[in-house]
Chains A and B, each alone.
Chain A
Amino acid sequence: MSNTKLYLYPVWLRIWHAINALCIILLGITGISMQYTNIESPLINFNSAVSIHNLVGVIIIASYLFFFIAGIISGNVKHYRLLFKGLLNRLFKQGEYYLFGYLKGEPKPFHITKEEKFNPLQKVSYVAAMYVLVPAVIITGVALLFPEMIIEKFYTMSGIRLTTFFHSLAGFFILIFLIIHLYVITIGKHPLKNFKSIVNGYHES
């Protein structure tokens, strides 16, 4: 099969992706540092971790709003539309390919086109990350920036405590997503092929 080059990632998307990735890494590191802070050996000084986390948090809100609006304007949002009919079957097929087929050198079950730039597993995980987890972490994060706005008690539990729980939970799964995302994109003809794509915008198959 001849090598085909598809221009899938326009400049705005690549810039957003780079900013988003950097923000998530910084938020993850500062978040973990705050959560597991220790007076003798903090990963990052507590005050600095709080300041960086707050600042980067505000940046990621702007970045997300940009992604959301630009996605609608450019039509990129269509790649995040899930077709539920037969979804489980497609997910299973893609999962099976990653686990076994790829190792055996079998062909990809779903080929990337201009219309379908994500495989089913990518699509579901990106929808979960960008339209569930990131909004959840942003909403709870904004609330925690203005904690006096949070209801004092939810039944017997502190409202702030509950908000931080959901904030950390969403943040935790975003980090898990990031780790898996970073690994899965190394699956291909060459481990760095997909990294190259998100830099120059071209997908090579």
Chain B
Amino acid sequence: MKIALPIKFVIICSFLFLIHQIVQAQDNEEKIKMPESNNVCLNCHGHKYFSFYNENTEINERKLMNPYFVIDSISYLQGAHQGHSCIDCHSEDYGVYPHIAELKIEPKLTCVDCHDFEAIATEVKKSVHMEAFGEFFQCELCHDPHSNKLVKSDMAELVRYNNNRCLNCHNDVDKYQVFTSHENPQLLVTHDWLPNQALHFAHVRCIECHTAVTDTADAVHHIVPKEQAVKNCNECHSENSLLRDKLYKHQLKEDRSEFNFYKSFIINDAYIIGANKNYYVNLISLLIFGLTFFGILTHTIFRIIKRK
């Protein structure tokens, strides 16, 4: 097939314009850079191993970094504190190695020193965690400030990210036993009553069942005792699904149209029996049912009339 010269010219120009736009868009993207001062810390804490010159032995030593003190620089740059220097929260004295022993027991800056989390704090105080561990239970135990971020766009990622906050301790014996001498809960066993367990774990957050239901978004910080956790399937699997006030709260807020619940549930990537019905499919099925009964009724009436 022969393509006329002017058409060829238009195609080539369009292609070049597209390439130009893509390149420009990439250039315009704001590039977040790691603050330079962080490089000193990440030189060691950004890796599984670190090296230093031991003046006593006069040799270069290579040691294993405590895995809980390794900072993933990519997660850091994707997190909410991406522009911050380590010393914004940590003491400048950490610049010396070996670190000064007293630094470990010095009071650290906490989240509420910068953020106004009063409403959240009120809910956390009611939480089963706070009741058990008191002030020892701090925000960063769930929200790692080195990587914490708000995931909103991808529902599966949001669920996975949120659940990892819980699993971080509840699925790690070592971390779990920092707080309690109880044995690590066998999550799969304690949740064996839950049908399609893997699907539930992948599509809803732990906090859907393990937090109080109130109108405030901060209530997800009120973790209730396990005896009070939602165990009635109908709480989620119904038209008034509690997920409306939890997992899908933001999604529904964004779409305030008349059929928002139906619409929102059409675009999301999960299926909840009893909760996400499609308004239009419902209407059409009712219409078909209605027409069937109407047809039967009309025929019956004629049968009765004709019999007489």
- Contacts known (A103-B306, A147-B196, A160-B271); A39 close to B234, Cβ less than 8 A: yes
With both chains docked as a complex, state the minimum distance between the C-beta of B157 and any C-beta of chain A, in angstroms: 13
Contact A103 B240 (CB under 8 A): no
Contact B292 A179 (CB under 8 A): yes
**Which residues of chain B (231-287) have a CB below 8 Å from chain A?**
232-235, 237-240, 268-271, 273-274, 276-277, 281, 285
With both chains docked as a complex, state the minimum distance between the C-beta of B246 and any C-beta of chain A, in angstroms: 15
Give every chain B residue within 8 A of A38 (Cβ-Cβ). Answer: 234, 238-240
With both chains docked as a complex, state the minimum distance between the C-beta of B282 and any C-beta of chain A, in angstroms: 9
- Contacts known (A148-B198, A161-B270); A39 close to B238, Cβ less than 8 A: yes
Could you count the A-B residue pairs with CB atoms below 8 Å apart for me: how many are there? Answer: 77
Count of chain A residues with Cβ under 8 Å from any Cβ of B? Answer: 31
Taking the complex as formed, is B289 at the interface, i.e. its CB lies under 8 A from any CB of chain A? yes
A19-52 to B contact mask, C-beta < 8 Å, 1/0: 0000000000000001111110010011100100
- Contacts known (A37-B274, A46-B233, A147-B196); A176 close to B238, Cβ less than 8 A: no
Taking the complex as formed, is B303 at the interface, i.e. its CB lies under 8 A from any CB of chain A? yes
- Contacts known (A103-B303, A183-B296); A46 close to B237, Cβ less than 8 A: yes
Taking the complex as formed, is B302 at the interface, i.e. its CB lies under 8 A from any CB of chain A? yes
Q: How far is the CA of A98 from the CA of B295 in the complex (A)?
A: 12
Give every chain B residue within 8 A of A47 (Cβ-Cβ). Answer: 233
Q: How far is the CA of A47 from the CA of B302 in the complex (A)?
A: 44
Taking the complex as formed, is A172 at the interface, i.e. its CB lies under 8 A from any CB of chain B? yes
Taking the complex as formed, is B199 at the interface, i.e. its CB lies under 8 A from any CB of chain A? yes
Contact A176 B292 (CB under 8 A): yes
Contact B303 A50 (CB under 8 A): no
Contact B269 A158 (CB under 8 A): yes
Contact B271 A164 (CB under 8 A): yes
Q: How far is the CA of A164 from the CA of B289 in the complex (A)?
A: 20
